[in-house]
Every structure is written in C-alpha cells, then in structure tokens.
Structure 1
Amino acid sequence: MASDDEKHADTEYLTTLERGLSVLRAFGRENPQMTLSEVAEVTGLSPAAARRCLNTLVKLGYVAKYHRNFLLRPEVMSFASAYLDSMSLGEIVRPHLQAVRDETGDSSSLAVLSGSDILYLVHVSTNRMVRLAAGIGTRFPAYATSLGRAMLAFEADDVRNGYLDTGEFASLTEHTVTSRAELEQVLMQVRRDGYSAVKDELDYGLISIAVPILDESGRSMAAINCSTSTSRVGLDELVRTRLPVLQNATRHIQAALRRQPFLVRSVHPA
C-alpha cells in the first residue's frame, strides 16, 4: 500500500476514491450498521467527509440509511462477483479443493495475503459443524493461521520482516503465538518444512495444515489448507495423512495458475 508521501506526490491518486472505499471497508461483523459519527471515527475521516461519502454511496445503491444508521446493501457484492467472474479462479481451483475434501473429509480453502490478514478466495466446506465458519471473502489474522504462516514463510524477506515489525499479535487463545521472535522462528521452520500446521491458535478445537502455492521465483502467491476439528484428528496424524494430499493438489493448482499469467498477477501483483 502506498505511503502518505507517495499518495501526495502522485497527481493521478484520487483521495476522494480512497475515502469512499474506506467507508465501504468500515462495515463488518462487529459493526454491521453505524451512525455518521461512528463511520467517521472508524475511518478517521472528518464528519463532513464521511457524510459526503455516505450520501454518495446511498445514491449509488451501495449503502442504505435507516433512521440515523447506515448499512451496506447487497449491491456491494457486485465487486466480488466481477473479480470472480473475470478471473475464473474458482473454476481452476475448486475441483482440486473438492478432491482434497473428498479424500480427507476436511474443509479446504485457498487464500491470499491481504494486509495483515488472510483473505479466502475459494472455499469447499463439509457438512460438519465448525466453530469458525469460513467462506469466500472471510478474513482471519495471518499470524494465527496455517494459511497465513505458509504464505509469510515464503514471502520476500522485506515483506515478511515488515509484517513482523508492524503487526499486532493478540492472544486469540492461550496457545496463540504472539511473540515476534517466536513467530519468526515458527516461519523459519515452516520454510524448512514446506508446510504449516496450527492447532488451537485461531480458536479452540480447530486444527489445520497449509501448503504454499509458489510463483516461478519461489515466492508465495497463495496457499491451500485442510481444516477440521481437533476431536477428529491430532497434529501428528494431520501431517501424516493430509500433507501428501495437499502437496498433490498444490502441484496441480500451481501448474494451472502458471498457465494463466494474468491470474497470477491478480492474486499476487509484483
């Protein structure tokens, strides 16, 4: 993401567009509806700027107003639909994730790094109840997930170090690794092993294993995982039984993505 100095120096940069997008991103699970003052506080915008953005988004159909509260409308889904339709990522990846699901009985996903989070782009679920539901567009903090660690371990050194230097690592459970030094050691081990396995760190009762999808330079552009309940499988068995399945799916997905350069540039721009 561009720094403030870079934004000011770029005459092609539209601050008004940035403000409007920040308003859309302000809504989420914790704040599905907000007043004008709450939107201004979350986005850091002045009340006047937040009001102009909200009124514009209301007229465009992306935001609704009910009394004093603003909330998103379904029209915002058109942005995600446009990406999925134009990139055809699901068509390429989903058959391989379904094969993983069918062989292991676990849910399986593909995610990319997005800021300090992982962002799910393709997800294949099971009928089993899980504590944390996931789907396309779901975000989780990267440091506490197998997907995030698999990608960070194979990122460029400056990207990985920047994440470790600036990240805020909260304890999501008593098992969550939150020390920068310890996380760095964990990522070094993931790079040596070629996979990441996480148990009870994102939430109690969750266990997962992930493998990175690499570009031709050996840098991670995405990752896929298996995720299930600790009541079904232990860590050692997870690695023994799921890792070969994931590695096989990764080879197929990696080859398919490399045949689509525009898609690679989309999920992991240089």
Structure 2
Amino acid sequence: MAGSEKDPEYLSTLERGLSVLRAFDATRPEMALSEVAVATGLSPAVARRCLNTLVALGYIRQDGRRFLLTPEVLAFGSAYLSSMNIETIAVPPLQALGQATGDSVSLAVRSGREILYVCHIPSNRRIRLGAGVGTRFPLNATSMGKVIIAFQGDAAIDAYLAGGPLPRLTERTITDPDSFRARLQTIRERRYDSALDELDYGIVSVAVPLFDVAGHVVGAINCSTSTTRISQDELVRTRLPLLAEAAGTIASELRRFPQLARSLSGS
C-alpha cells in the first residue's frame, strides 16, 4: 500500500518481511535469493536481509542456496483460529451440513480480488480441485465470491471491476463486466448463487451470504461437489434450506462472539 508507507506508524520493513513469507506457495515451495527478489519485487539486498531475519526467527530454513518455509509459520493461522473461536462458531454447523449432504462445505471471506477459505470441511469423495483453510480462488469464478460482492454494494462492485480484467479459469467463468453485473443483480434478488464448471470442470456449488448483526455481509458458506453426483438444479433445491439454516446458526453465534464478525468484515 503506497499510501500507507507515508504513515509514520507504518513499518515498510514488516510489509517486506510478510511479502517474503507470502511468496512461497505450491508452485514455489523453495526458492533461491534471486527468485524471492523477483517474486516479491524487492531488491536482492532487501530480500536477503528479510530472508536472513526470517531464518533467524525460525520461519524460514536455508538449505544451501535455497530457502523454504518451516512449520513455525502455522502458528499464525493457529493463533487466528483459536482467538476467533472458529472451532466453536463455524465448525459444528458446517460439519453437520457436510454429514447431511456428503458435500465439501466451506466458509470464505473476500480478500482483495479473491476469496479466502477460513473454514473447510472436506467430503470423503475425491474432487480434482482441492481446497483447505487458507486456500484462495478468484472471486469471479466462485459462488461464494459472487455472493459476497453482490451484497457489498455498487461501490464495491465498481471498484472491483475497475481493478483489472476478470480471470478466466474455464469457458464458463464470467469475465464480461456487464454479464458479471447482471449475475450479481440476480444474486441479490434470489439471495444465493450457484456455479457450474466456473472454477473447474466437473465442480458444482451453491452458496449463501453470511451477515453480521448489523446486516453487513461478512462472508459466505457453500456446498460443493462433483457434477457426477448431482445436477445443479437438484443441488440448489436440496442444499439451499440446509445452507440457510447453517448460515442462521453461525449468524446467531456471531452475536455472542462479535470479535469474529469484526475480523471477517475487515478481510
């Protein structure tokens, strides 16, 4: 955030260190110094200082000229899940939903131009496109992403569409801005979205919004499964009542744990 760097309370060194941690992913499980510099946009000298600091703190391990994350980074996610009472608030209703349907069930929030999985209950059926806590997908290609932004209002939609082209993951992914706006209007009217082959071929999902006590959308929950199991129409018909019940349960719990609602809305 360039504007934030002008704030005397803003630590650009911390931002750089976090950018180094975030640079590692499934496609870059380990990197040399030069690769870290390219991935983060940092100069080699700055990247080297960040890496050396993170190695000293135990979050990154150096193996010859290569660097990789250590399990210590999991402490950040664990701290969030425990401090926000995710296990108490979201897991029980989502587990019950998963057991009743056999689907994968998730709770996600918006994170920039993507959605971020905060809770995920996998099914025991193999789905080609795996997901888990911390997984990110393009907002426009997911039922949860479209549900969230649909209820964030016109200003949020305008800013999102002005931020760049919509990524295409399949031939069915909505990438045309006018079509995207029309889809969001439909979502507002029926209060759910269903995606078929938009994120990946063979995956169908249905999602509903999750609101806080003030009526602001803070996330979405969905059921997702393979198209070989169920048709889109049948998924919507049978899962919507169950999703609405689970969303209501979580919303009630958010009244008891307002810190989680504030955290989700700030994602």
Q: Shorter-chain TM-score: what band?
A: over 0.9
**For 2:90, what is the secondary structure of its paired residue?**
helix
**Contact persistence 2:115–2:139 (CA under 8 A):** yes
Structure 1 window deviating more from structure 2 (62-71 vs 52-61): it is 62-71
TM-score normalised by structure 2 residue count: 0.96
Take 2:136 and 2:60, find their aligned partners in 1: how far apart are those partners? 21
Residue 155 of structure 1 and its aligned partner are, at CA, apart by: 0.9
**For 1:98, what is the secondary structure of its paired residue?**
helix
Amino acid at match of 1:248: E
Other-structure match for 1:161: 158
**Contact persistence 2:213–2:254 (CA under 8 A):** no
Unaligned 5+ segments in structure 2 are: none
Deviations 1:135-154 (A, max 9, x none): 11111111100111111111
Other-structure match for 1:14: 11
TM-score normalised by structure 1 residue count: 0.95
**Contact persistence 1:116–1:167 (CA under 8 A):** no
Other-structure match for 1:102: 99
The structure 2 residue matched to 1:63, chosen from 56, 60, 64, is 60
1:138 paired with 2:138, answer no
Deviations 1:14-73 (A, max 9, x none): 000000001001111111111111111111111110010001001111011112111111
Take 2:165 and 2:25, find their aligned partners in 1: how far apart are those partners? 19
**Contact persistence 1:195–1:210 (CA under 8 A):** yes
**For 1:222, what is the secondary structure of its paired residue?**
strand
Amino acid at match of 2:3: D
**For 2:3, what is the secondary structure of its paired residue?**
helix
**For 1:170, what is the secondary structure of its paired residue?**
coil
Other-structure match for 1:127: 124
1:183 paired with 2:146, answer no
Residue 79 of structure 1 and its aligned partner are, at CA, apart by: 0.4
The structure 2 residue matched to 1:242, chosen from 239, 250, 259, is 239
Take 2:110 and 2:39, find their aligned partners in 1: how far apart are those partners? 22
**Contact persistence 1:121–1:137 (CA under 8 A):** yes
Other-structure match for 1:38: 35
Other-structure match for 1:226: 223
Deviations 1:139-198 (A, max 9, x none): 111110011111111113322221121143222111111111111111111111100100
How many residues get paired? Answer: 267
What is the alpha-carbon root mean square deviation over aligned residues?
1.3
